[in-house]
Amino acid sequence: MTSADDQLCFLPATELAERIRRRDLSPVEVTEAYLRRIEARNPVVNAYTLVLGDEAIDAARVAEKAVMAGVPLGPLHGVPVGIKDLDDLAGVPTSMGSRAVHNRVPKDSATAVERLLDAGAIVLGKTNTPEFGHKGITDNLRFGPTSTPFAIGYNSGGSSGGSAAAVADGMAALAQGTDGGGSVRIPASFSGTVGFKPSFGRIPSVTRPDGFLWGHPLVHIGPLARTVADAALMTKVMAGPHSRDPLSLPDDGVDYVGAVSGPARKLRVAYSPRLGNFPVHPDVAAVVADAVDAMRRNGIEVDEVEPDFKADHKELAALWVRTISIHYAAIAVYWKQEGIDLMGEHAAVLTPQFLAMLEGAYKVSAVEHTLDDLLRTGVFDGLQDLLETHDLIVSPTLAIPPVKNATDGNTIGPTSINGEAVDPLIGWCMTYPINYTGHPATSVPAGLTAQGLPVGLQIIGRRHADASVLNMAARFERMQPWFQSYPGLVGR
């Protein structure tokens, strides 16, 4: 790996796009540098499940011709990206991180992916994920675990862990992820990147046969990036209403890119060290407390206060498992009609916990599922109570630093923190409550533990106040820059 390749692979996406437009850089040389980086690093990190080398070079040559012809260029023209292997890219297999899913080649790309392509992005490949994204750890029985580049052998977080690790290790300028319980913010925390979950409906998701699949705020789509400006640019490209998504928000003029450089205004922030009553590992608590002190030193008014969610974190974690399981069970019904019988002939090859979730969904009655909205309402009201008196809420993104990878393809999180039991799939993730409500939230690097493991700071905004979240994230980035901490840059 040459130092010239290093410089290209760790350029911010905003700068990369601008230099390609100015003809300072060729899309072909950029793509070739990224592919060399992937060849060198992916065997170690395991971020990609499928590398589209020939296709990426072909796309880069087309992109280069457009640059030389002087035609109008998209905002991500020639910028290499990774796509999570839960989301469709036309003509490319979608594996869902599962041994049960083979030869499923979609004819159409997911809406967010299509918008990235329309903006000129070049897809390098599909990135690793837990089976169907069912937990906050990226590991599966088919491809194995993905490591955080900060500590090989420790997990990158999930479920967009391959995307986060690829970005953190210079194997993609940007990467796309989905966030149903924190799946953009969790790996952002474990892998030291920026992960932004916009307000529910900002980035459309055209799902069929059920156009109302995510009828409650739950699954969001978002960017993973090394800088807040990069995340804002990628959000701008993917966001906007879609006529085939009945849940997409109208365009209300949010200036995602402008928010990053917007003026710093007087803020009152609610700091919630436990986001209700989550148990938090001391190493995480210390790093986040230092980050909050930096905010105070930079003129931000911070009050330490916890939201009242009217429920224990264990109840809320169980709610997430029930809710997502019902969606998975519905997907299994659709897929059986396409010849993929997850609960029948393929059950034996599924991750045991994922199979248990499918089976458990049938034990929840329609009435019980509806009454679960009472728990969601408690979370919503708890957030709204704080946001009526504060501009933003900050908390740890996760209750723990990265965990060690298992060797059996089934890494999970801890079963207890500080002696208190937690659900190993999701109970240590201080992210999923925000999926119940649809509020915008991001995770930015807060710092490193004494062992050099990344810790994320979660920033939660008022409903539909995406610009405020990005503005605060960028402000924090200027207070405590993290870019030079990436392992691929250290000592360069």
84 counts as catalytic: yes
Cα–Cα dist 97/410, whole Å: 12
Residue 327's closest CA among 435, 159, 205, 215?
215
> How many other C-beta atoms can be found within 10 angstroms of the C-beta atom of residue 283?
16
Task: Categorise residue 299: left if φ over 0, alpha if ψ from -120 to 50, beta otherwise.
Answer: left
CB neighbours of 475 closer than 8 A, spacing ≥ 6?
264, 298
> Tokens 């900050």 sit at which residue?
394
Contact 393, 462 (CB under 8 A): no
Cα–Cα dist 414/433, whole Å: 19
3 counts as catalytic: no
Dig out the tokens for 227 from the structure.
């800088």
The catalytic residue among 84, 126, 135, 197 is 84
Contact 197, 222 (CB under 8 A): yes
The catalytic residue among 98, 156, 160, 183 is 183
Cα–Cα dist 333/324, whole Å: 15
Task: Categorise residue 103: left if φ over 0, alpha if ψ from -120 to 50, beta otherwise.
Answer: left
159 counts as catalytic: yes
> How many other C-beta atoms can be found within 10 angstroms of the C-beta atom of residue 10?
19
Contact 248, 201 (CB under 8 A): yes
Long-range contacts of 364-367 (CB under 8 A, 24+ apart): 364/322, 364/325, 364/326
Q: What is the 3-state secondary structure (H, E, C) of 375-417?
A: HHHHHHHHHHHHHCCCCEEEEECECCCCCECCCCCCCCCCCEE
The catalytic residue among 156, 159, 163, 205 is 159
80, containing H or E segment: strand 80-84
Contact 384, 328 (CB under 8 A): no
179, containing H or E segment: strand 174-179
Helix boundaries (H) for 192-245: 228-238
First to last CA, the chain: 12
> Tokens 């498992």 sit at which residue?
321
Cα–Cα dist 135/149, whole Å: 20
Residues taking part in catalysis: 84, 159, 183
